[in-house]
Structure 1
Amino acid sequence: MLNLALSILCSSLIFVIFKLFDVYKIQTLYAIITNYVVAFIVGLVLYEGTVDFNEIISKSWFFGTLALGVFFILIFNLMAKTSQIAGVSVASVATKMSLIMPVVFGVFLYKETLSFLQVVGIVLALVAVYFASMKEKSVTIPKKALLLPLLVFLGSGIIDISMKYFQEHHLQPREVAIFSSMIFGFAALTGFIFIGAKAIKTSLKLNLKNIVGGIVLGVPNYFSIFFLIRALQNEHISSSAIFTINNVAIVMLSTLLGITIFKERMSLKNWGGIALAVISIVLVALF
Structure 2
Amino acid sequence: MIYLALSVLASTLIFIIFKLFSKYNVDTLQAIVVNYIVASVSGIIAYSEPIDLSSVSGKGWFFGAMILGIIFISVFNLMAITTQRNGLSVAAVATKMSLVIPIIFGVIAYQESTGIIKILGIIIALIAVYLTSIKTTVGIPITKKNLIFPVLVFIGSGVIDTSIKFLETHYVAKNDIPVFSATVFGFAAIVGIITLVYKVITGTFKIAFKNIIAGVILGVPNYFSIYFLIQALRHDSMDSSTVFTINNVAILLVSTFAGILFFQEKLTFKNWIGIILAIISIILVAFSI
Report the TM-score range of the alignment, normalised by the length of the smaller protein: over 0.9
Shift of 1:192: 0.9
Alignment of structure 1 residues 104-123 onto 2, 5 Å? 104-123=104-123
* Alignment partner, residue 92 of structure 2: 92
- Cα deviation, 1:240-268, whole Å, max 9, x if unaligned, reads 00000001111111122222223322111
Judged with a 3 Å threshold, the aligned counterparts in structure 2 of structure 1 residues 151 and 260 are, in CA distance, closer, same or farther, namely farther
Partner residue of 2:35?
Answer: 35
**Distance of 1:27 and 1:145 partners within structure 2:** 24
Aligned to 1:172: 173
Tell me, yes or no, if the aligned pair for 1:98 and 1:154 is still in contact at 8 Å. Answer: yes
Residue 10 of structure 1 is matched in structure 2 by 10
Q: State the alpha-carbon separation in 1 of the partners of residues 204 and 135 from structure 2.
A: 40
Deviations 1:132-159 (A, max 9, x none): 1122248986846665433322211010
Distance of 2:83 and 2:260 partners within structure 1? 14
Aligned residue-pair number: 287
Per the TM alignment, residue 227 of structure 1 is displaced from its structure 2 partner at its CA by: 0.4
User: What's the counterpart of residue 206 of structure 2?
Assistant: 205
Maintained 8 Å contact 1:44/1:181: yes
| TM-aligned CA distance change 1:20 to 1:147, over 3 Å | farther
Alpha-carbon offset, residue 198 of structure 1: 2.2
Is the alpha carbon distance of 1:47 and 1:221 closer, same or farther for their aligned partners in structure 2, counting shifts above 3 Å? same
Distance, in Å, in 1 between the alignment partners of 2:108 and 2:228 is: 25
* Alignment match, 1:55: 55
Q: Partners in 1 of 2:126 and 2:205 — Cα distance?
A: 43
- Alignment correspondent of 1:241: 242
Could you tell me which residue of structure 2 aligns to residue 155 of structure 1? Answer: 156
8 Å CA contact retained: 1:16, 1:88: no
Identity %: 49
Matched with 1:276 is 277
Q: Structure 1, unaligned stretches of length 5 or more?
A: none
Unmatched 5+ stretches in structure 2: none
Cα distance, 1:235 vs. partner?
Answer: 1.3
TM-score (norm 2): 0.92
- Counterpart check, 1:260 vs 2:261: yes
**1:38-93 alpha-carbon deviations (Å, 9 max, x no partner):** 00110000001111111001101101111111111111233345567766665433
Distance 2:94 2:179 in 1: 29
1:231 Cα offset (Å): 0.5
Provide TM-score, normalisation by structure 1: 0.93
